[in-house]
């Protein structure tokens, strides 16, 4: 399964202000969830489980602030890793910048962020 992140105004669900492809289940497990578990990041460590639910993984309000902090911690972990065999590509870090931007848009406009 592939995962994406979406932020849209309630009256314009087909016109998102943020739409980002996150990657395959393998990529999410390898670069997101496994590290989320290692670092005790509850939102990141449960991405696929919650995103695979009927309505996707919906974050709003304080959860968005917590998710942004978890993404920052995830980025710090990967930037400090010395294991080149599992280190993500530069594209992954560009994606994290985009993800943080999407979270900030959801916070700014008091919208829901959906991962599915």
Distances (CA, A) of 28 to 10, 17, 62, 105, 111: 27, 23, 23, 22, 24
Q: What is the mean pLDDT of the chain?
A: 91
- Reply yes or no on whether the pLDDT at 30 is more than 90: yes
- Reply yes or no on whether the pLDDT at 53 is more than 90: no
pTM (2 d.p.): 0.90
- The proportion of the chain whose per-residue pLDDT surpasses 70, expressed as a percent, equals 97
- Reply yes or no on whether the pLDDT at 60 is more than 80: yes
């Amino acid at each position: 399964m592939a995962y994406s992140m979406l932020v849209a105004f309630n009256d314009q669900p087909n016109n998102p202000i943020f739409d980002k492809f996150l990657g395959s289940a393998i990529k999410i497990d390898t670069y997101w969830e496994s590290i989320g578990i290692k670092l005790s990041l509850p939102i990141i460590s449960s991405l696929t489980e919650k995103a695979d639910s009927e309505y996707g993984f919906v974050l709003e309000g304080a959860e968005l602030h917590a998710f942004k902090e978890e993404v920052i911690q995830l980025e710090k972990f990967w930037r400090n890793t010395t294991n080149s065999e599992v280190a993500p590509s530069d594209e992954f870090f560009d994606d994290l910048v985009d993800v943080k931007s999407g979270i900030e848009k959801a916070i700014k406009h008091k919208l829901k962020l959906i991962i599915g």
